Every structure is written in structure tokens, then in C-alpha cells.
């Protein structure tokens, strides 16, 4: 089984044509009509946990949805009407995309069925943008430097091994202090 960091380095690929399989009910107080069956399936997430992708579907119903994250959706099957707090309605059909900003509430009307892929992002709190950017830059630099150190250590061990008539693995083990 791959470790989580290995998954992010190699990418995550999946068929999203099948309906999701995990129940994820809408809060009863948000439902205006119908008895929606809602399911979801997580596809992927970023290593920092601030963004993720999920496939979600819903049966006939109407409900209010509060967004505690930024969300971009692409409709895969069916359609939905969404209405903002100003009364502006948009109909999203197969292939359409919509953006729902964090902190907003939208009224959803699903006439029959809708399935979407959602790209979610947890926004960085105000006042934290610069510190977060600095932290991300530091992490990138540390990773870059660590890679340089590993490459340099491998080169040195290979040279030392050749000079001593040893194989590469033996030379690396000696440099790392691993008993033979």
C-alpha cells in the first residue's frame, strides 16, 4: 500500500463516471422539500489539507447550502438550479461549472438528480496570507535543499566507493554509519 505522500507525488487518478458510494446526508434543518439521498466519494486532497476533490450526487429535493469553503463544481449528470441571497438563479446542466464562495448560502433545487465533481478549498484566514506564503516558500526551499543534500551524499559515496574499490550500496551504508 502506498503512503499518503507517495500518492501525492505520483498523482491520484480515478473513474468518476460511477455514482458515489458513501452516504453524506444534508442537515435536516436545511431541507425545504423532499427526502434527498446524497452520496459522496472523496477523490483526492492536497498535502497541506487546504484543498480536495469530491464526487457528490443528490436526488430530487430543495435545500439551503451554506459554504464553509470555496467550492467550484462541474456538473457530470443531471441538472440543478441554484439561487443566491439576492434572488439570482442559475441553472447548471451537464458540463457547466459554478463557483460558490466561502461564507455564502445558496438555495439548491434538484428536479430529478444531479451528480457533480466539487473542487473545494479552505481559504486562508485574513491576516495570515503572508505568513502562510512564507511558510510554503520555506517548505519548498527545505525540500529543495534536502534533495541537493541527498544527491551530493550519493555522489560522494559513489566516488568514495570507487576510490576504495567498494560498491555504491556499501559506500552509502558506510557514510550513513550503518553497520555492515
Would 2 be classed as within a structural domain? no
Per the CB < 8 A criterion, the answer to whether 80 and 49 are in contact is no
Paired strand residues for 63: 31, 108
Per the CB < 8 A criterion, the answer to whether 138 and 132 are in contact is no
Pair (98, 153) in one structural domain: no
Cα separation, 58 vs 47, in Å, equals 28
Would 14 be classed as within a structural domain? yes
Q: Quote the number of domains for the chain.
A: 2
Q: Quick one: pLDDT at residue 132?
A: 72
Per the CB < 8 A criterion, the answer to whether 67 and 120 are in contact is no
Taking phi first (over 0 means left), then psi (-120 to 50 degrees means alpha), and beta for anything else, what does residue 49 get?
A: left
Task: Give pLDDT tens digits along the chain (180 positions).
Answer: 344 445 556 788 888 888 899 999 999 999 999 999 999 999 999 887 889 999 999 999 999 999 999 999 999 999 999 999 999 999 999 999 999 999 999 999 999 999 999 999 998 777 776 777 777 788 778 777 777 667 777 776 666 556 655 555 555 555 565 555
Would 3 be classed as within a structural domain? no
What is residue 50's DSSP assignment?
Answer: S
Would 1 be classed as within a structural domain? no
Would 50 be classed as within a structural domain? yes
**Residue span of the structural domain in which 158 resides:** 129-176
Would 172 be classed as within a structural domain? yes
Amino acid at each position: 500500500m502506498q503512503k499518503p505522500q507517495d500518492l501525492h507525488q505520483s498523482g491520484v487518478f480515478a473513474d468518476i463516471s460511477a455514482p458515489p458510494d458513501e452516504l453524506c446526508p444534508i442537515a435536516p434543518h436545511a431541507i425545504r422539500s423532499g427526502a434527498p439521498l446524497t452520496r459522496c466519494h472523496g477523490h483526492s486532497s492536497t498535502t497541506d489539507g487546504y484543498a480536495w476533490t469530491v464526487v457528490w450526487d443528490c436526488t430530487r429535493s430543495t435545500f439551503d447550502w451554506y459554504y464553509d469553503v470555496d467550492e467550484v463544481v462541474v456538473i457530470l449528470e443531471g441538472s440543478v438550479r441554484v439561487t443566491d441571497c439576492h434572488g439570482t438563479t442559475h441553472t447548471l446542466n451537464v458540463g457547466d461549472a459554478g463557483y460558490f464562495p466561502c461564507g455564502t448560502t445558496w438555495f439548491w433545487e434538484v428536479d430529478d438528480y444531479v451528480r457533480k465533481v466539487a473542487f473545494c478549498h479552505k481559504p486562508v484566514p485574513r491576516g495570515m496570507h503572508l505568513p502562510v506564503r512564507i511558510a510554503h516558500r520555506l517548505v519548498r526551499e527545505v525540500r529543495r535543499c534536502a534533495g541537493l543534500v541527498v544527491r551530493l551524499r550519493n555522489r560522494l559515496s559513489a566516488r568514495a566507493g570507487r576510490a576504495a574499490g567498494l560498491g555504491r550500496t556499501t559506500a552509502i551504508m558506510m557514510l550513513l554509519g550503518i553497520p555492515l
